[in-house]
Structure 1
Amino acid sequence: MAALEEYVLLDDPNMLVAALGIILKPAIWTVICRSEYRTRWMTNLFRSKYTACSVLAVTILLMGVVRDSLYMTALQSQPTLPAIHLPVVGYGIAGIGSLFVFSSFWRLGWYCTFMGDYFGIHLDERIDSFPFSVLDNPMYWGTTLNFLGVAFMMGSPAGLILCLLIVVCYKILLRLEEPFTADIYSKRGLAQKKV
């Protein structure tokens, strides 16, 4: 088999910019959310936690469009590998990923999909039905499957590398988010017991 360097051009500016976009999206929203939780600066600025959360939601969605565009541009500028050009497999993987993403959104709703916990917007209890009954954090892993599916659709080793970077970013993000979410719902449980 040919060397990886033949199929992944690491010095391609499109690849580097896509990697930067993949890293920056969760980093930016994490910084915004943590600072909002500590200071309520967005809630104070917009005079409503719901408006502030919606502004963040639109920001996250726009960053997602930019990230996805950078990913596609990178894949189009990279060589392909016929052995992994598996469009049917790619569509299947992306279909499963989309199912996880959309069903997560359906269960969580607008505000809780877009980090409502940091704004003081909470569900009554943690969700444990599908897709959360199948895996933890189905929104993140569904998104990852979408990127993986596209890599197979295009036969792109670079897409697989960028997908691995997405996994690393989400793993780091979850190390920050999961304890926070668990803490919020345990505090809510204690507060409800006192009432």
Structure 2
Amino acid sequence: MSRTSAPCLVIASFSMDFVSGLFSAVDWSKKSLYLSILSIAFNPTAWNIVARNEFHNKTITRVFGSARNGCYFLAVMIFSFGILRDTLYERALKDQPKQAILPEPLNVVIPAILFLVGQTFVITSTWALGVTGTFLGDYFGILMDHRVEGFPFNVLRDPMYVGSTMCFAAGALWYERPAGLLITAYVYIVYIIALKFEGPFTDMIYSTRAAKTASSKKEL
């Protein structure tokens, strides 16, 4: 065995023991755990499906009479289901076994910092994008004039998803529920999958507009 491989094996062993410890600290019999998991998967999945349907068929626009009104309706729905998801997550945490994860005073300091930073990313993202930019307005044909490059987008590509994940981790550490850390990892995976579909589709929308604009200029 080489000298460089020994530390890697130690780290890998520690990681496996840590993950195994998290799984053993979960009460898998609680229905609230599965409700939380389902709500986390539902939100990005449902809104991507609804938004793509809107892009192709304009269903919500026809119902509400305009793209902007339809987008506002979807914003209310996304925000409301987001609150429901957070409520179910908090209930799931409280139903799980409590176990010290961090020593004092880090058990208070670290989750507080995670929550503050996470909320900063979420709130400043929403402020920079506006209501229509945040809540899938581009699928309604409400496109931004240019890419937002200021804070927090000059720090992270997807600050809203990262900030949300940080808040989930903060909740797990604050309530000292190891199950919450597993749910946080699940949240991160769900967001990565959602971005695989959402990102390229959004890029396609703006690329199509750019191509049409260039074509119009040539005709002139």
TM-score (norm 1): 0.94
State whether residues 80 and 154 of structure 1, in contact with CA within 8 Å, keep that contact through their aligned partners in structure 2. Answer: yes
Measured in 1, the distance between the counterparts of 2:162 and 2:24 equals 29
Counterpart for residue 134 of structure 1: 155
Counterpart for residue 84 of structure 2: 66
Does residue 44 (structure 1) correspond to residue 62 (structure 2)? The answer is yes
Counterpart for residue 77 of structure 1: 95
Equivalences for residues 76-155 of structure 1 within 5 A:
76-84=94-102, 86-155=107-176
Cα RMSD between the aligned structures?
A: 1.6
Paired residue for 1:30, among 48, 73, 89? 48
Q: Tell me which amino acid in the other structure corresponds to 2:196.
A: R
- RCO higher in structure (CA 8 A, sep ≥6): 1
Deviation at 1:142, TM superposition (A): 0.8
SS of the residue 1:83 aligns to: coil
State whether residues 14 and 73 of structure 1, in contact with CA within 8 Å, keep that contact through their aligned partners in structure 2. Answer: yes
What is the percentage of aligned positions where both structures have the same residue? 36
State whether residues 147 and 163 of structure 1, in contact with CA within 8 Å, keep that contact through their aligned partners in structure 2. Answer: yes
Deviation at 1:189, TM superposition (A): 2.5
State whether residues 84 and 156 of structure 1, in contact with CA within 8 Å, keep that contact through their aligned partners in structure 2. Answer: no
SS of the residue 1:127 aligns to: coil
Q: CA 1:3–1:109 in 2, change beyond 3 Å: closer, same or farther?
A: closer
Paired residue for 1:17, among 35, 39, 58? 35
Counterpart for residue 53 of structure 1: 71
Alignment: residue pair count: 195
Mean Cα displacement is larger for which, 185-194 or 70-79? 185-194
Measured in 2, the distance between the counterparts of 1:21 and 1:9 equals 18
Deviation at 1:149, TM superposition (A): 1.0
Does residue 183 (structure 1) correspond to residue 204 (structure 2)? The answer is yes
Q: CA 1:161–1:109 in 2, change beyond 3 Å: closer, same or farther?
A: same
Deviation at 1:6, TM superposition (A): 4.2
TM-score (norm 2): 0.84
Deviation string, structure 1 residues 49-97 (Cα, Å, up to 9, x no partner): 0110011000001101110000000000101221337121001011111
Measured in 2, the distance between the counterparts of 1:147 and 1:62 equals 17
Tell me, which stretches of 5 or more residues in structure 1 are unaligned? none
Q: CA 1:173–1:3 in 2, change beyond 3 Å: closer, same or farther?
A: closer
* Bigger radius of gyration: 2
Tell me, which stretches of 5 or more residues in structure 2 are unaligned? 1-16
Measured in 1, the distance between the counterparts of 2:22 and 2:128 equals 41
Deviation at 1:3, TM superposition (A): 4.2
